[in-house]
Structure 1
Amino acid sequence: MKIAVYGTLRKGKPLHDYLRESKFLGEDWIEGYDLYVDVLPYAVKGEGRLKVEIYEVDEETFERISRMEVNAGYKPVEVDTKFGRAILWKWVHEPSGERVESGDFDDVEFKGW
């Protein structure tokens, strides 16, 4: 199963260790999403684009990440990537915080939580 990550699960970010056993397929840009950062990064449907990393994960890894994301207020949705369909967790609440114009979490000075 493929997942698309855009924030703290990306390479070099605080939660990337969740993906240490997973196969990295590459990067892509997803159209129709805006990236915001409040305490955490989150994506909402919008007019922008979102930089993602695509991973092939096993069921156990998917369930662990999904449980964490859903409990934090995100909802899994399917998106099209150049590597095929993937699950991305979008924010289910109204956006607040700062919109990241570039759509790339690497452009944010993440202060952690």
Structure 2
Amino acid sequence: MLLFVYGTLKRGGKYHDYLGEAELVAEHAVAKGELYDTGLGYPAMTLSEQGEIHGEVYYIPKELWPAIDYLEDYTGGAATDLFNKVTIEVETEGKVLQTAVYIAASENLLKRKLETGNWDVAVTV
């Protein structure tokens, strides 16, 4: 399954190592949505036709998903999950790919909108 990453999982990001043996499918991909700084050292996105979020796409082997779900505080629908995992379309090099993505499960994460739609991987807490 493919995963669109837009924050700390991107190359150079503090949690990129979680991707382990994942295969980079697209260096530059764009998703429809809005990107926010959570104030916690990582971003969160929402789905929207209004904005664009820049990220990367990886093919994730199934054995890596549990660790990534744990990192993203996603259990599959618990009320306390910080993120939901959904399927979206992203564009890359003239192609459209179906990918999983983690989106904000709570508006409390959405502190400051990042108008550029691009997370700076050098951000740390």
Match of 1:49 in 2: 52
Structure 1 contact 25–83 (Cα < 8 Å) conserved: no
Match of 1:73 in 2: 82
Alpha-carbon RMSD across the aligned residues, in angstroms, is 1.8
SS in 2 for 1:105: coil
Unaligned runs of 5+ in 2: 76-80
Distance 2:119 2:96 in 1: 20
TM-score by length of 1: 0.87
Match of 1:30 in 2: 31
Unaligned runs of 5+ in 1: none
Structure that is richer in strand per residue? 1
Match of 1:86 in 2: 99
SS in 1 for 2:7: coil
SS in 2 for 1:90: strand
Structure 1 contact 9–16 (Cα < 8 Å) conserved: yes
Q: Deviation digits for residues 66-107 of structure 1, max 9, x if unmatched? A: 23211660100101123621100000111532111010113x
1:15 equivalent to 2:29? Answer: no
Q: Which runs of 4+ in 1 moved over 6 A?
A: none
Distance 2:110 2:4 in 1: 22
Larger deviation, residues 38-47 vs 67-76: 67-76
% same residue:
25
